[in-house]
Chains A and B, each alone.
Chain A
Amino acid sequence: MTAAAWICLCSPLAGALAITLAGTRISPRLAGYVSTGSVAVAFVAAVVAFVAILGKDGEERVAESTAWSWLTAGDLDVGLSILVDPLSVVMMLIVSGVGALIVGYSIGYMDGDDEERRYFAYMALFVFSMLLLVEAGNFLILLVGWGLVGLSSYLLIGFHHERPSAVAAAKKAFVMNAVGDATMALALFLLIYETGTLDYFPNFEAADGMSSTVVTLVALGLLGGAVAKSAQIPLHTWLPDAMEGPTPVSALIHAATMVTAGVYLIVRTHPIFEAAPAIQDLAAGLGALTLLVAGLIALVQVDIKRVIAYSTMSQIGYMFLGAGVGAYANGIFHLMTHAFFKALLFLAAGIVIHALVGEQDIRNMGGLRRLMPRTYVAMLVGALALAGMPPLSGFFSKDSILASALALDSVWGYVLFATGIAGAFLTGLYTFRMLFLVFWGEPTPYVREHHHAHHGKEGPFSMTSTVAVLAMLALVGGAIQIAGIWHPLADFLHESVEPLVEPTVTQDWVTSLIAVGAGVAGIWLAWWIYAARRAAAPHVPWARRALEHKLYADEAYDVVFYTPSAAIARGFARFVEGPLIAGSIAGLTRGFREVGLGTGRIQSGYLRSYALAILGGVALLALVFISVR
């Protein structure tokens, strides 16, 4: 079981190293195969670990394995260890499975790019980092994986380094994530101070005994990391910009895996969050706020990838909500189905962008339904799953989260529930706005001009086949857990996490009815406005402007953080750097030059005067020696 987990962890790293070391000696195509192969091996190993864990019961399902002692300082001893339990195995399966599909898709998508090998090395590195994160056996390894994931995300967002916007987006993502890394590191320091160890279980057991201030601070620090990585308010602004990366990167990192790491973190460290109920409520509240705000902003986006990016933020909001109210298994369940249908949406969008020679503006698209019927079906499946329509996967997972909020049976629970329902309405609206604008109606001049290049074929095999697999998963993936009927996933996760709330069957049904109703209403409204065109979109200039500016989050950060620090830096440049540092250097050089010129004058070039000086010196020395004696 642990051996398989180690193989799962090391295989993508080996792939990344092999591609890097081989350099230009292998063809770009071969690099793609190596990368895909290494991730596929990881998936097979994850399946082996999964099967092994199924064969065990109870306590035996949790296994730790330490390679060696990695860091020793005083009493603190941190091993390079992994933890294999039902939760990490589920995450391993999602990461390596979806990862293998998306890396395989990239073989077609990136074909002909100048730096394909670099891309595939980064992709394998990312999968390794993510696996390290989910398999980590203690907080420090978790933080290492956390940081490596941020790094590979940075490298991949900025993959097109010749584009200044991509470089800026990569920097932004890195800085935002660094804020979360810092708060997480602070939480870890507190834990070391309190318990003297970074292992999971001793800390979990000690969480109840800590003073409420300390445990609240620790939970807050962990939540900070989760919020930054998962692009929740207030650290959300990097995710839409991250769409500068190649589309498969958006699918893998910024939809299916990395951004869900925050949810995983909350579920993994749930005893700490349970000891700090205020922070739990904060997590749920931030999730609810994000799902609503992101849904609103998605309504006015015109870039196909950004619409999907905002829907990702919104869906992770649901997961945070679920993890915050204690419906851990439901959060992980939604994480899994979301990985399927969001990867599907991104990859299908990638096919569209590929076919339209890089165009991403949905206003220039239209009428693609007849030109790309299979892509349309894939996109439709993804959109229906995203909108939570039965019997697709999103329906089961999203409704189970909302039902758990309802099961809280408190005012706060009802507020969260109502927000989630409003979010479901918005999801239907913005998803189908995009779908109708892209696929329905008549082909625009742009489409007519550019599309004919791909007759009869909608994309290379590597792209269409992976999309088909993901479409199947999005279609039936929800069936592994049906509220009120069977719940194998929750049972499987039971050894890792136990839910705090258990909705009744009535609550499940009520939630499903209301949520599906809201979703259908959203879809109907989108159809009414964007497909049937029976009514124009409501025209409210100030609201549209505010949403197009993403509710001024970037501007607010600009005013609060950037402007003051830039002003301080300018002040230092003017009053410290100029006169003090540069001035002193200039003075030193001037002094040395004067001294040099002065001594230079002694060098007359006359040999005999040198000889006289030497002789005089020797005579002087002789005198000194004689007199001193």
Chain B
Amino acid sequence: MRGPDVTWYLALAGTLFATGALGVLLRRSPLIVLLSLEIMLNGANLALIAFARSLGDGSGQIFALAVMAVAASEVVVGLGLIVAMARRNLELDVDEMTTLRG
């Protein structure tokens, strides 16, 4: 097996995941939140593929492909929602959108 050890890949995946999570938690613009979510998903994908390579089992890669497809659909819906909000001149701030308060 050539290339760096699987640990490095996992470290990068963890960094990506943490970056995305921090983005989701700290940023208030829905656009950035969505973007950060994608980064988290990519971190997870990277971990899946790394393990798949290291264990010699293809199913992890299939998982990654499925996650990408779902992520693409999710982005379509999410971006559509954001565009709709912008069209209606709503403030693009997740802390202002609290209608579903209990």
Contact = CB atoms under 8 A, between A and B. Distances in A.
Interface of A: 599-608, 611-612, 615
Contact of A607 (B21, B26, B97, B102): B97
A622 B94 CA distance: 28
A276 B101 CA distance: 82
Interface of B: 21, 24-26, 28, 33, 94-95, 97-102
Contacts of B100: 603, 605
Contacts of A601: 102
Most chain A CB atoms below 10 A, which of B100, B101, B102: B102
A606 B25 contact: no
Contact of A604 (B21, B26, B33, B101): B101
A224 to B, nearest CB: 65
Nearest to A603: B102
| Closest CB pairs A-B (n = 3) | A603-B102, A605-B98, A605-B101
B95 A615 contact: no
Contacts of B102: 599-605
* Secondary structure call for the B interface: loop
Given A602-B102, A605-B97, A611-B25, 5 more contacts: A599-B102, A604-B98, A608-B94, A608-B95, A612-B25
Nearest to B99: A605
Contacts of B101: 603-605
A604 B99 CA distance: 9
A615 B33 CA distance: 14
Contacts of B33: 607
A350 to B, nearest CB: 72
A120 B90 CA distance: 71
Nearest to A615: B21
Contacts of B28: 608
Nearest to B24: A611
Contacts of B97: 605, 607
* Secondary structure call for the A interface: helix
Nearest to B95: A606
B81 to A, nearest CB: 12
Contacts, number: 35
A617 to B, nearest CB: 13
B10 to A, nearest CB: 14
9 contacts: A602-B102, A603-B101, A603-B102, A605-B99, A608-B24, A608-B28, A608-B95, A611-B24, A615-B21
A600 B24 CA distance: 24
A462 to B, nearest CB: 74
A498 to B, nearest CB: 87
Contacts of B98: 604-606
Contacts of B94: 606-608
Nearest to B94: A607
Contacts of B25: 608, 611-612, 615
Contacts of A608: 24-26, 28, 94-95
A299 B102 CA distance: 78
A603 B95 CA distance: 13
A603 B100 CA distance: 8
A111 B20 CA distance: 86
Contacts of A600: 102
Nearest to B97: A607
A620 to B, nearest CB: 14
Contacts of B26: 608
A589 to B, nearest CB: 19
Nearest to B98: A605
A609 to B, nearest CB: 9
A615 B37 CA distance: 12
A604 B26 CA distance: 17
A602 B100 CA distance: 11
Contacts of A605: 97-102
Nearest to A618: B21
A447 B97 CA distance: 85
Nearest to A604: B101
A608 B97 CA distance: 11
Contacts of A604: 98, 101-102
Nearest to B93: A607
A612 B26 CA distance: 10
Contacts of B99: 605
Nearest to B27: A608
A600 B101 CA distance: 8
A469 to B, nearest CB: 82
Nearest to A619: B21
Most chain B CB atoms below 10 A, which of A601, A606, A612: A606
A316 B20 CA distance: 97
Nearest to A601: B102
Nearest to B21: A615
B59 to A, nearest CB: 21
B77 to A, nearest CB: 16
Contacts of B21: 615
Nearest to A602: B102
A21 to B, nearest CB: 55
A606 to B, nearest CB: 6
A606 B25 CA distance: 11
Contacts of B24: 608, 611, 615
A599 B98 CA distance: 16
A316 B33 CA distance: 93
A460 to B, nearest CB: 74
Contacts of A611: 24-25
Nearest to A598: B102
Nearest to B33: A607
A600 B102 CA distance: 4
A465 to B, nearest CB: 80
A608 B96 CA distance: 11
A599 B102 CA distance: 8
A516 B33 CA distance: 111
A236 B25 CA distance: 85
B71 to A, nearest CB: 17
A95 B33 CA distance: 88
Contacts of A603: 100-102
A199 to B, nearest CB: 71
A604 B24 CA distance: 17
Contacts of B95: 606-608
A604 B98 CA distance: 7
B91 to A, nearest CB: 14
A368 to B, nearest CB: 82
B41 to A, nearest CB: 14
